[in-house]
Amino acid sequence: MNLKKQKLIRLTLSYIAIAVMCAIILYPVAWIVGSSFNPGQSLSGSSIIPKNATLAHYKELFDLEQSNYLIWYWNSLKVSLSTMALTVLMVSLTAYSFSRYRFVGRKNGLMTFLILQMIPNFAALIAIFVLALVTNLLDTHLGLILVYVGGQIPMNTWLMKGYLDTIPKELDESAKMDGAGHFRIFFQIVMPLAKPIIAVVALFSFIAPFADFILASILLRTEEKFTLPVALYDMVAKQFGAEFTTFAAGSVLIAIPIALLFLYFQKYFVSGLTAGGTKG
C-alpha cells in the first residue's frame, strides 16, 4: 500500500471518528430541543422533529402570571456574573503573587491549593450550610456567590499561575527600569498578555454556578431566590406537576448565555502570548 492510500485511509477514519463523536454529543441536544416544541407535558412521544410543533411552553415560561422563570433566569445571571467577576479578580491577584514573588509560606500555600482543588464543594455541604446559617447568609445570593468564588480559587489559581510562569520576567524588569510600579506592571504589562487564560477562567467560573444544582439547593430556600437548576428541578419534581416539556424549553434557554459568552471569549483562546508586549 503506497503512502497516498495510507493517508487517505487515516483521513477517512479520522472523519468517521469525528462524525461518531458529533452524533453522540449532538443527539441529546437535538432531542431536548425537539422535546421543547412537543405539545403536551409528556416526553414519551417526543422526537427530534415534533409532529405538531408549538411555542406554548416558551410562552408559558415568559408569562409572569404562570411562571417565575424570568426571575430565576435573572437570579442565575446575577450569581454567575458576580462569581465570574470576583473569581477573575481574586485569581488574577493570587496567581500573579505566586508566580512573580517569593515569600514565606509560598510553597505551603500552593500545596494547600492543590489539596483543596481535589476536594469537591459538595463534600463539605454540612460545613457550608452551618457556616451560612451562623453568618446569616443562608437563603441569600451573597452567600451562594461567596461559596462559589471560594471553590473556584484553588483550581483556577494553579491554572493561571502556570500560564503566568510562561510570560518572560524580563518584561517586568524592563518596566521597572522605566519607573513602573507593581500595580502598573500587573495591569498594563502582565494582564494584557494573560487574556487567553483570563478568558478561560472567566468562562469556567460562569458556567459552574450557572449549571450548579447541589450547592444552590442547599443554600436557597425561597422560590423567588431560586436559580435555574433548582427551579427547573422543582418544576418536574412536584407531585402533580411533571412538566417535562416545559422543563425542556427552560433547559434550552439555559444554553444561550453560555454560548454567547463562549463566542465572545473565543478570540482570546487563540491569541498570541506576545500580544501587547510592545510599548505604545
Residues 262 and 134 in one domain: yes
In angstroms, the CA 214 to CA 147 distance is 12
Whether pTM > 0.85 for this model: the answer is no
**In this structure, is residue 204 part of a structural domain?**
yes
pLDDT-flagged residues of the chain (< 70): 1, 42-47, 238-242, 270-280
**In this structure, is residue 233 part of a structural domain?**
yes
CATH number at residue 159: 1.10.3720.10
pLDDT of res. 266: 82
**In this structure, is residue 252 part of a structural domain?**
yes
In angstroms, the CA 156 to CA 133 distance is 27
pLDDT of res. 35: 82
Q: DSSP of 84-109, one letter per residue?
A: HHHHHHHHHHHHHHHHH---TTHHHH
Residues 119 and 198 in one domain: yes
pLDDT of res. 104: 87
pLDDT of res. 47: 65
Residues 114 and 172 in one domain: yes
**In this structure, is residue 277 part of a structural domain?**
no
pLDDT of res. 210: 92
DSSP 124: G
Residues 251 and 133 in one domain: yes
pLDDT of res. 94: 92
**In this structure, is residue 24 part of a structural domain?**
yes
Residues 50 and 94 in one domain: no
**In this structure, is residue 155 part of a structural domain?**
yes
Residues 85 and 198 in one domain: yes
Residues 11 and 142 in one domain: no
Residues 157 and 33 in one domain: no
For residue 161, count CB atoms less than 10 angstroms from its CB and return exposed for 0-12, middle for 13-18, buried for 19 or more: buried
Query: Domain range for residue 50?
Result: 3-38+45-54
**In this structure, is residue 278 part of a structural domain?**
no
Residues 202 and 112 in one domain: yes
Residues 33 and 81 in one domain: no
For 267-279, the pLDDT digits (tens) are 787 664 444 444 4
Residues 28 and 87 in one domain: no
Q: How many domains does the chain have?
A: 2
Angle between helices 195-211 and 69-100 in degrees, nearest 10: 140
Residues 253 and 174 in one domain: yes
In angstroms, the CA 39 to CA 56 distance is 8
pLDDT of res. 10: 87
